[in-house]
Structure formats: structure tokens, C-alpha cells
Chain A
Amino acid sequence: MKLLTLAFWEVVLAGSVRLAVPLALAALGETLVERSGILNLGVEGMMIMGALAGVWAAVGGGSWAGVAAGAAVGALLGALMALAVVGGGANQVVIGVALTLLGTGLASFLFQAWIPSGRQGVGVSPVPVVRVPGLADLPLVGPALFAQNLLMYGTLALVPALAWMLRRSRFGLAVRAVGDDPAAAALRGVATARVRTLTLVAGGALAGVAGAAITVGYLGSFTDGVTAGRGFVAVAIVIIGNWTPLGALAGALLFAFCDSLALHAQSGGVVLPVEAWSALPYLVTLAVLVVTSRRRRAPRALGV
């Protein structure tokens, strides 16, 4: 496949949208969490636990049971973080690092206990792909936008829903108030602890689904370290997306586009080492992080 053909870019675009789904889901959840003033570095741990739980549940119950299990495990870890950070007042960054460590360690432990190394791995049938009749055959964007699994359409629907909720709803107002000035919000009668607990549970659930979106969404199996730092990338995406749902989606698409380009570029006949392509999405994210660092407005109480 040559770089300048339509078919090449069709494949790259379809791959970018597929790879963007887990990133966008995790980043949307983290956007909500950070808007309430909590920095959650445990996304990576929540994702990998969701990825494992997803495959485990999908073996018996099918792919949607897997997605639900991912959400449940993520929500549980989110509640755990809320207990430590909101209830116990512990340092958010430290608890986030601990949760990532816990998630990666526990996922590896449970997976090896479930399927000892050397034994045949478990494969599940992924979430079904829905082709929109007619539109899926459009050149270039057809496969990317109209022949994806239902998680992708759900993610797209979640973006305006979350944006509306943050901007217009009462709960969204409470979230923003808590994220900007918890003391003032509390004085005005907002239950700050409850709001932050809820955002952490919801953000955790989304991170769990994001993990399941990798394994149950398209891979069909779990391997140790399958999330490969995507949780941390999601945290970066929240920042380059300027803490808005639409920005999170755009950031996820940018990273996933570079990722997809890297996956397919070798077959496109581009003379660059594989590793340079693999490093590209991280470098591009870093570059955007730098370029946008001046015009950003973080929730004022983020991390406090």
C-alpha cells in the first residue's frame, strides 16, 4: 500500500477512530474528575483493571457483559480513590500513583492466576461493528465514521452530553464550583465531598470502560500491560483539550491519528525506523502540550 493512495488514508483514518475510542472515554471521565478539582493519576490502573475485567466477564457473558464489568471495576477503583482523597484527605498525586501501581500489579497477578503463562490465552468476540448502510461505503471517511463498533457511537454521543451537563446542568455547576473554589462552594451549600466522590466514581467507570474498549472493543484478548500507558496519555489529553469534552475528543483523535499512522506507515513505504513512528504520538502530544501551555485555564483548585 502506497502512502499517497486513497486506500491508505482510509485505513489510517479508520484505525485512528478505533484507537481514539478508549483514549476519548478515559479522557472524558478524567475531564469530569479534573473539573471537580481532582487530579487522578490512577487512570492507567483503572484502565488496565477494566481491560482485564472486561475480558473475564466477556468469556461467559458476551462483549456487553465485558463492558459492564469494566465500568463496574473502574467505578469501584474510583470510589476507592474518593475514600482516600476526599474522605482521608490524602495527597491526590500520591494516591493516583498508588492506584496505578495497584491496578497494574493486581491485573498482572489476577491474569496469571487465571491463565498461567504458557497456557493458551483466552479470546472473546469483540463488540459488534455496526455498518451504517450506504454511508459506510463513502470514500475516505466511510469506514472511519460509519463502520465502527457501538462503543465508538456511544463515545461520540457522550461528548455533547457531558459538555451540556458541565455547562448547563445544576450538577455541572456544582462540579465547576467545587473545582474552582471548594471553600466558597461549600459556603453556598454545595456538598463538595459528595460532588467529588460522584465525579471520581463516574470518571473511574469511564476509565474502566476505556480499558474494556481496548480488549473487548477490538483486541478480543488481554495481555499483561495491554494499556501501555494509555491512561497517562488520557491525562495529558485532558490538559491539551483545555478541560472541555470536545477538546478531550480532539486530543484523543490527534494522538490516535499519529498512532494509526505509525502502525500503517511501514506498509506505506516510508523510510523511517519503526521506533520513530512509535514515538511520534508521544512527541506530538508533548508538542501540543507545550504550544497550548500559555492559553490554558485549569480549574483553579485542581490538585488541592
Chain B
Amino acid sequence: MTPRVPRGLPATRVLRAVRALRGTVPVWVVVGAAVAAGAVLLLAVGADPVVGYREIVLGAVGDRYHLGETVVRAVPVAVVALGVVPALRARVFTIGSEGQLAMGALASTVAVLALGTLPAPLLLAVGALAGVAGGALWALPAALLRGYARVNEILSTLLLNYVAGFGLLWLLRTALREPGTLTTPSSADLPEAGRIPTLLPGTRLHWGVVLVLVAAAGLAWWVRSPRGFALDVYGTHPALAARMGVRPAGAVVSTMLVGGAAAGLAGWVQVAGVQGRLYPSVAGGLGFTGLVVALLGGLRPAGVLGVALIFGALATGAEGLQVGTGVPASLATVVQALLLGGVALSAAASHRRLRRGAGERPG
């Protein structure tokens, strides 16, 4: 018997209904829908949505300390996200930030602990450079494989994330282990000179936030530079880019290395700015979130900064929610996922609207 494609499937009817919505979904509808879905989840676990959202807002921006926490959480995510923007603009989907961040954190911890007697400014520079180098080095194999052997970068970077995670665990259990840390192994504390100073007293907000602003400015400049434009073209029209003198392998390798360097820097920020030591979960989803933030931010520096702050607020607020009402903090992840999906849909709709508009004009 030959299976046939059934007609009039309910799913295809719904499909048609979604098509009817095409081009009519502005971003505020997406945000509203994500917030509403969060309210439904709150109701589902028996919490009052109004109380829940108030807890989230208070937990995120309610006082000076929590405001600081929101920014502290946004910083590494923003650094990772800004770093993957060039790769994503060139349509290179690197999902390796997680492992690169872990390797950057590892390299900077090793370097700072080894050179612990240096004065503060030098030690900070050592840490930052080691982080950059560690992240870029971990990105290198996947970059070369994609650039020269056409090995799918999504999968190679993903697989290397797990390898990095196990490598970090191994070193924390053996060479880097601080005796006395029993349950979760972690390294020795970084010397005070190697730590990023606090920016706002009474919070954990550190000077690393300046790094984000510098990186964003750098990215804004790069996007407008001829090279940035050429890579944009490479992403959408590779053949045309080749005529503009873009070497495909060069474009892939350089953008992936930039992404790795930024992720490694974010690793240093987490170690030297927040925890003061290396621990197994240092990446803790930051790499994945960074990718999401880059996409949601429309691959533009200002957008990335805004979304990173919103995500930081959501994560911090959801923790406040969990402490206050016992509602699981993973609510934030669900809302973030819905935002990403909704914005992708809305972007597709407006893209189509543009194309339709162009098609209607004669000539």
C-alpha cells in the first residue's frame, strides 16, 4: 500500500490561518503574547499573575542592589552577543560560545593565578588577554574546519562545547582544584589585584560594563566599515561578495575567531568580575543566551544592548519570583524562547511585506 498525503489536515488549516496573519505582526504584539503566556504559566501553578509580574519587576529593578544584579547578568551575555554578530551577519551560525567562554575563563584563571604578583593594571590586562586567547583558540578548529573543509559549523561548535565542559571539569578536579572545596570543585580565589574593581558600591556591578560599551561602539563602527558591509553581502549574496574581494574561508575564519575571542573575554569577566574564582558552571548557558540575544537584537549593537538588559532583568527578576513566591525561575527561559520565536516570525512577515512592496512597483 502506498501512503498518500492526506488532504484537509487540521494542521494545514491552521497553517492557512497563520498565513492570513502575514505582515500584520508588529513586535509589541510578540512581547504582549510572551507576557501573556508567562501569565498563563503563573496561573497554571496557582500564582496570581499580577503578583508574579510585580515580583519579577521588583526583583529586577526594585532597588539599587537588584538593579546592579540585572546589569551584572547582562554584561557577559552582551559581550558574547556582540562577538557573534559579525559571524551571524555573514550567515555563519556558530553555537560554540558556551565552550569558548569556558575555555576563556580557564585560560584567564590559569594566567592570573600564575602571574599573581603583578600589579593590578597588568594583571587585569593579562587576564583579559588570556581570556581572549583561550576563547579564540577554542574557536579555531571549528573555524578552520568550516572555512577549509566545509564541515558544518553548527555541529562542530556544539560538539566542542561538551568537550570544553569536560575538560574544564577535569582540570578543576585535578590541577586547579583548591583543597577544601568538596561538593563543587573550584579553583583558588584570584588575587585582589586580578579582580575587576566594583563600579557601584553595595552591588556586584563591576567595571566590566565599560567593556560592553566599548565593544558595542567598536561593533557599530565595524558594521559601517567597508569590511563589515562586504561580510553582510557575503551573508546574503556570496557570489557578489567574491567579486568584491571577500575570500569565503577568510570571512568564516575571521568572524568565528572574533566570536570566540569575545566569548573568552566574557569568561574572564565572569571569573574576575563576579565570582572571583573558576567553577564548573561558569558558562551556565551564557553562550546560548548570547546567541539568542544577538538574534533578538537584530544583529545591531544598540539592539543587542537593549535585549541583553531585558534578558538580564528577566533572569534576575525570575529569581526574585522564585524566592518570593516559589514559582520556578525557569519561567524566564520560557518567556525568552517565546520572544525569540515571535520576533523571528515577525521578521519573516516584514521581510515578505518588503518584498511584496518591491514587487508591486513597475520596473
Residue ID in chain B nearest A279 by CB atoms:
B166
Known contacts: A273-B174, A282-B163, A286-B156. The answer to whether A169 contacts B326 by CB under 8 A is: no
CB distance from A303 to the nearest CB of B (A): 10
CB distance from B304 to the nearest CB of A (A): 15
Q: Which of A112, A191, A235 has the most CB of B within 10 A?
A: A112
Q: Are B3 and A171 in contact (CB under 8 A)?
A: yes
Known contacts: A97-B292, A275-B166. The answer to whether A194 contacts B12 by CB under 8 A is: yes
CB distance from A295 to the nearest CB of B (A): 12
User: Which residues of A are found within 8 Å of B334, using beta-carbon distances?
Assistant: 102, 105-106, 109
Is B330's CB within 8 Å of the partner chain A?
yes
**Per a CB cutoff under 8 Å, which of A101, A239, A274 touches B336?**
A101
Q: Are B167 and A293 in contact (CB under 8 A)?
A: no
Question: Contacts A83-B18, A91-B347, A108-B328 given; 13 further ones with Cβ under 8 A?
Answer: A41-B154, A87-B18, A88-B21, A88-B349, A90-B341, A91-B348, A106-B333, A108-B333, A109-B330, A116-B326, A236-B155, A286-B163, A289-B159
Q: Are B9 and A170 in contact (CB under 8 A)?
A: no
Q: Are A90 and B347 in contact (CB under 8 A)?
A: yes
Q: List 6 A-B contacts (CB under 8 A).
A: A87-B18, A90-B347, A101-B337, A108-B333, A289-B159, A293-B145
Q: Are B333 and A101 in contact (CB under 8 A)?
A: yes
User: Which residues of A are found within 8 Å of B151, using beta-carbon distances?
Assistant: 289-290, 293
Q: Is the interface of A mostly helix, strand, loop or mixed?
A: helix
Q: Are B15 and A83 in contact (CB under 8 A)?
A: yes
Count: A-B pairs, CB below 8 Å: 181
User: Which residues of B are found within 8 Å of A165, using beta-carbon distances?
Assistant: 3
Q: Are A98 and B15 in contact (CB under 8 A)?
A: no
Q: 8 Å CB contacts to A: which residues of B128-182?
A: 145, 149-152, 154-156, 158-163, 166-167, 169-170, 173-174
Q: How many residues of A contact B (CB 8 A)?
A: 59
User: Which residues of A are found within 8 Å of B95, using beta-carbon distances?
Assistant: 97
Q: 8 Å CB contacts to B: which residues of A253-304?
A: 273-276, 278-279, 282-283, 285-286, 289-290, 293-294
Q: Are B326 and A293 in contact (CB under 8 A)?
A: no
Q: Are A99 and B163 in contact (CB under 8 A)?
A: no
Q: Give bound CA distance, A108 to B163, whole Å.
A: 24
User: Which residues of A are found within 8 Å of B155, using beta-carbon distances?
Assistant: 232, 235-236, 239, 286, 289
Residue ID in chain A nearest B45 by CB atoms:
A113
Q: 8 Å CB contacts to B: which residues of A74-105?
A: 79, 82-84, 86-91, 93-95, 97-99, 101-102, 104-105
Q: Are A193 and B14 in contact (CB under 8 A)?
A: no
Known contacts: A83-B18, A169-B2. The answer to whether A113 contacts B44 by CB under 8 A is: yes
Q: Are A105 and B337 in contact (CB under 8 A)?
A: yes
Is A229's CB within 8 Å of the partner chain B?
yes
Q: Are B174 and A229 in contact (CB under 8 A)?
A: no
User: Which residues of B are found within 8 Å of A215, using beta-carbon distances?
Assistant: none
CB distance from B336 to the nearest CB of A (A): 6
Q: Are A88 and B348 in contact (CB under 8 A)?
A: yes
Q: Give bound CA distance, A77 to B347, whole Å.
A: 21
Known contacts: A116-B326, A236-B158. The answer to whether A275 contacts B345 by CB under 8 A is: no
Going nearest first, the 8 A-B pairs with the smallest beta carbon separation are: A105-B333, A102-B337, A275-B170, A101-B337, A87-B18, A112-B328, A108-B330, A98-B341
